[in-house]
Amino acid sequence: MLGIETSCDETAVAIYDGERGLLAHRLYSQATMHAEYGGVVPELAARDHVGRLSGLVSETLSAANLVVDQLAGIAYTAGPGLIGALLVGGSFAAGLAATCGAKLLPVHHLEGHLLAPMLEARQPVFPFLALLVSGGHTLLARVDGVGRYAIIGETLDDAAGEAFDKTAKALGLPYPGGPELARLAATGNPSGKFRFSRPMTDRPGLDFSFSGLKTAVLTALPRAVTPQDRADLALAFEQAVTDTLAIKCQRALEQTGLKQLVVAGGVGANRRLRSLLQMAADQHGFALFFPRPEFCTDNAAMIAYAGWARLAEGGAANAGISARARWPLHTLTAPVNPS
């Protein structure tokens, strides 16, 4: 299964084989191109995908020692994401599938993230709890199988990654802000002068809200005078977000009785979140699964895997090009054998 990911500012291609696992993966990040604008410019993203895809597909095929006619299927991210960028990946995938006779599989980007831990040697088994924390989404889901996702908590406003990015911007850090803010926070002093509350942890429920926290950082910003103050502020913000995520995960595990937690999405690459959750797992006896950091952020390995898993379970291929900027995860259904 060839996977193609072009939902935002990463052009990525990967090949997954049911028996041999992941055979090759390649990724080109457009981050430096968008950096001067302080965020992703959709038109530029789409145009750059056009220029990169063909070369990346050839490179990935030769790294896997395959030729295009050996592909059984081509999976591509059909949404949610930037519509122009999605259309580039979908059109390319459809053209390639038509020339080599492979099946064409539209994949939901978040399903890719949720199933990404299946690319690792140590894998969770269904059912498990998943925390999905990316730039566009923050949710807790019960995962009962491929396409069987029940959302039990989500953000009421900003996504966790979005809060990282906006706070980083306010601190004057370059785009993409999340990893930059985490780097600055690593030099922060935990007993510095800033402390922010853990939003919505003082009341029952599994939903999140991060926009108030972002505002609290903006209000505190004038008090961050020295470089050390700025690092302390970044750390206080990171602590508030990651503590909140960890508290809600623990609560969700207790409420559902599930014993496995999967963390996926770009913020899953955050070191402090990883170590907090590892400590909770050791203390409370649940099993914790992370994709490797490069498969937490956007990549095509997760898209190839999700396409393969759907096809393996009898899911239908679809010859048309599908691209949906918005595509609620809860509308996905389990693969159904068409015969």
Binding partner at 217 among ligand KG4, Zn ion, none, C-beta below 5 to 8 Å by kind: none
Among 77, 134, 155, 270, binds Zn ion (CB under 5 A): 134
d(C-alpha 140, C-alpha 313), whole Å? 24
Whether the CA torsion 253, 129, 239, 190 is positive or negative: it is: positive
Shortest approach of ligand KG4 to residue 306 CB, angstroms? Answer: 14
Residue span 300-319 as binding mask against Zn ion, x where in contact by CB under 5 A, dash where not: --------------------
Burial of residue 20 (number of CB atoms within 10 Å: 0-12, 13-18, 19+): exposed
Does 298 participate in binding Zn ion (rule CB under 5 A)? yes
Nearer to ligand KG4, 60 or 299 (CB): 299
Nearer to ligand KG4, 56 or 181 (CB): 181
Nearer to Zn ion, 73 or 135 (CB): 135
Contacts to ligand KG4 by CB under 6 A:
134-136, 161, 164-165, 176-179, 182, 265-267, 269-270, 297-298
Output the six-digit token pair for 37: 């604008």
Q: Tell me the one-letter amino acid at 173.
A: L
d(C-alpha 167, C-alpha 196), whole Å? 13
Nearer to ligand KG4, 11 or 134 (CB): 134
Nearer to ligand KG4, 180 or 229 (CB): 180
Output the six-digit token pair for 43: 């038109």
Nearer to ligand KG4, 48 or 298 (CB): 298
d(C-alpha 15, C-alpha 77), whole Å? 14
Binding partner at 179 among Zn ion, ligand KG4, none, C-beta below 5 to 8 Å by kind: ligand KG4
Of 46-54, 63-71, 144-152, 292-300, the segment contacting Zn ion by CB under 5 A is 292-300
Binding partner at 165 among ligand KG4, Zn ion, none, C-beta below 5 to 8 Å by kind: ligand KG4
Q: Are 267 and 220 in contact (CB under 8 A)?
A: no
Measuring CA to CA, which residue among 24, 85, 95, 18 is closest to residue 54? Answer: 95
Q: Three-state DSSP class for 177?
A: helix
Binding partner at 84 among ligand KG4, Zn ion, none, C-beta below 5 to 8 Å by kind: none
d(C-alpha 137, C-alpha 129), whole Å? 16
Spell out the residues 6+ positions from residue 95 whose beta carbon is closer than 8 angstroms to its own. Answer: none
Q: Tell me the one-letter amino acid at 145.
A: G
From residue 302, alpha-carbon distances to 25, 26, 66, 251, 278 in Å are 10, 12, 19, 27, 23
Binding partner at 161 among ligand KG4, Zn ion, none, C-beta below 5 to 8 Å by kind: ligand KG4
Shortest approach of ligand KG4 to residue 131 CB, angstroms? Answer: 12
Strand partners of residue 264: 132
Nearer to Zn ion, 165 or 298 (CB): 298
Does 5 participate in binding Zn ion (rule CB under 5 A)? no
Interface contacts to Zn ion, rule CB under 5 A: 134, 298
